[in-house]
C-alpha cells in the first residue's frame, strides 16, 4: 500500500479507467480504418491473377491504415494514458517479409 501511495505522489501511477477508455477509443479508430480495406481493394483485386501482386496490394493498404493510426492516434493515446510522458509515440518497426 505504501508503494501505491508513493507512486501516486510521484505521479508515476496510471489510473485504469482513463487508460482503458483512451485505449478503447484509439483502437476503435484503427478498426474503423481497417474495415473498409476490402471495399477499397475489391475492384482492383478482382482483375488481378498473380497472388503475390494481390498480397502486396492488401499489405500496402494495411500499412497505410496502421501508419495513419501511428501518426494520428498513438501519440495522443500515449499522452492520454500518461500525461507526464512526452507526446511522442515510438516509430513503428518496418519488417519486410517476402510473400510465400
Grid cell 509515440 in the structure block, residue: 89
pTM above 0.75, yes or no: no
**pLDDT exceeds 80 at position 60:** yes
Give the pLDDT band of residue 33 (cuts 50, 70, 90). very high
Pairwise CA distance, residues 70 & 77, whole Å: 10
**pLDDT exceeds 80 at position 39:** yes
Three-state secondary structure readout of 31-45: HHHHCCHHHHHHHHH
Amino acid at each position: 500500500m505504501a508503494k501505491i501511495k508513493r507512486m501516486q505522489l510521484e505521479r508515476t501511477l496510471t489510473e485504469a479507467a482513463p487508460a482503458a477508455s483512451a485505449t478503447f477509443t484509439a483502437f476503435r479508430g484503427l478498426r474503423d480504418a481497417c474495415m473498409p480495406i476490402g471495399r477499397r481493394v475489391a475492384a482492383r483485386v478482382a482483375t488481378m491473377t498473380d497472388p503475390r501482386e494481390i498480397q502486396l496490394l492488401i499489405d500496402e493498404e494495411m500499412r497505410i491504415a496502421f501508419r495513419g493510426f501511428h501518426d494520428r492516434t498513438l501519440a495522443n493515446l500515449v499522452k492520454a494514458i500518461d500525461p507526464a510522458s512526452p507526446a511522442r509515440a515510438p516509430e513503428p518497426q518496418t519488417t519486410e517479409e517476402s510473400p510465400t
